[in-house]
Amino acid sequence: MTNLETRRKRLLAKRAELEDRLKQIEDWLDDPVNPNAEERATERELDEVHELQGLAGQEEIAAIDAAIKRMENNIYGECLKCGEPISDERLDAVPYATLCRNCME
């Protein structure tokens, strides 16, 4: 299996994991409102945290989708700023990275 195939599988697995997490967050946010005012206030704070987690998950899914699109267009692993290759180490750490380490700094 090539490095690209391995990364594609990792990206798709991460995407599926994020979709599951988003579904859990959505279910949590759809729970009925607690009639107890104090508990409702605490739950509202938790809802805000879950909403932020959901937004972060959506952003990560968009980054994954963009990386898969770059794979399809044969430009995956190229820095979008300078055009140089993104190091394997960086892509191993962040498989949807769009910038090489030099441009990231």
DSSP states of 10-47:
HHHHHHHHHHHHHHHHHHHHTSPPPSSHHHHHHHHHHH
Global confidence as pTM: 0.83
Q: Give the model confidence (pLDDT) of 52-94 as tens digits.
A: 999 999 999 999 999 999 999 999 999 999 999 999 999 999 9
Question: Comparing C-alpha atoms, which of 62, 49, 52 is closest to residue 19?
Answer: 62
Mean pLDDT calculated for residue range 5-12: 95
Per-residue b or e along 23-59, where b marks 16 or more CB atoms closer than 10 Å to that residue's CB: eebeeeeeeeeeeeeeeeeebeeebeebeeebeebee
Three-state secondary structure call for residue 58: helix
In the chain, where the domains are located: 3-74
Query: Which has the higher per-residue pLDDT, 21 or 1?
Result: 21
The number of beta carbons lying within 10 Å of the beta carbon of residue 79 is 20
> 15: which residues sit within 8 A by CB, 6+ positions away?
61, 64, 65
